[in-house]
Amino acid sequence: MGKYLAPALDKGLDIIEYLSMKAIPQSQMEISQGLEKSPNEIYRMLVCLEQRGYLIKETPSGKFSLSLKLYHLSHRHSPVDELVKLSKPFMEELSNESKQSCHMGILHHGNLMVVSQMRSPGPVSLSIEEGSLFSLIKTTSGRVLLAFMNETRQKQILADDKDYNELSKEKKADLMLRLQKIRDRGYDLEKSELTMGVADIAVPVGDSQSGIFSALAISSLASISSKNESGEFLINKITEAVTSINTALGF
């Protein structure tokens, strides 16, 4: 528990987080039951959030749902927006030239979040929904982000990472060696641990110290490695795309 408490703020955030997990509008009673609080305890907070535009109250049911206000606030002056906007044309070019899907991911509360994707131009295409969250240590993009952040930040992230903490001492040592190899060669190329028959290549974009830091990845249905022709071709293409993106971002 934090040193400084703000019960009213906690209640408001609890309501917002609860509604964000629900696919349909919720009544005051349903919200109170979900939060294990009395209806009276959350009534004033619901009224306040509705008046401030964070909640929408449906008529005649009186049920509550989230408005788009949080979405709009999160997209004001966001470095992620700038990153996505500037990288789109280069991702499209990469997808067209490589004939593969590509996506961009960032660090988000200890996970990898996909913020942009470009499908391949072919009839069969891999698609990763924007906003999806994945494990850092189980994805090429996540490992790239870990490999290229500073040591202090890396230790903080891994200390709170559930997947990392479940590893044996030997597996943790193997992962750290793997991250160092990624840093040395500038990319990660591995079979996907989450999707059968898929191989991923990921390269860092931006700089971890600047606040604009992400990983660009190609997901391929073909069997690739850095030692075969297709692997070398894709590595060159994604590296060219990242160089162009970094130049556009001012790096």
The verdict on residue 192 lying in a domain is yes
Residues 156, 233, single domain; the answer is yes
> Is residue 1 situated within a structural domain?
no
26-54 pLDDT, tens digit each: 999 999 999 999 999 999 999 999 999 99
CATH for 42: 1.10.10.10
Whether 25 and 117 share a structural domain: no
Cα dist from 146 to 130, 135, 170, 188, 192, whole Å: 21, 11, 18, 11, 17
Domain with 242 in it: 79-249
Q: 136 and 67 in one domain?
A: no
Higher pLDDT, 133 or 23: 133
Same domain assignment for residues 162 and 207: yes
Say yes or no: 32 and 125 in one domain: no
Mean pLDDT, the chain, rounded, equals: 90
Q: Are residues 115 and 225 in the same domain?
A: yes
Is residue 168 located within the same domain as residue 84? yes
47 and 89, same domain (yes or no): no
Indicate the pLDDT class of residue 1, thresholds 50, 70 and 90.
very low
Between 225 and 245, name the one with better pLDDT: 245
pLDDT of residue 104: 97
* Per-residue pLDDT tens digits for 91-129: 999 999 999 999 999 999 899 999 999 998 877 777 888
124 found inside a domain: yes
Three-state SS string over 151-177 comes to HHHHHHHHHCCHHHHCCCHHHHHHHHH
Q: Are residues 102 and 153 in the same domain?
A: yes
DSSP letter at 26? B
Asked whether 83 and 206 are in contact (CB, 8 A), the reply is yes
The pLDDT value recorded for residue 223 is 63
Coil/strand/helix, residue 48: helix
